[in-house]
Amino acid sequence: MGYTAAKHGMAGLTRALASEWAARGVNVNAIAPGYIATELTEALQMDTQRSKALVDRTPAARWGQPYDLAGAVVFLASPASDFVHGAILSVDGGWLVR
Task: Report yes or no: 28 and 80 within 8 Å, Cβ to Cβ.
Answer: no
Choosing from 1, 2, 3, 49, the catalytic residue is 3
Contacts (Cβ under 8 Å, ≥6 apart) of 6: none
Query: Quick check: is 67 catalytic?
Result: no
DSSP state of 4: H
> What residue type is assigned to position 62 of the chain?
R
Burial of 80 (0-12, 13-18, 19+ CB in 10 A): exposed
**Residues designated catalytic:** 3
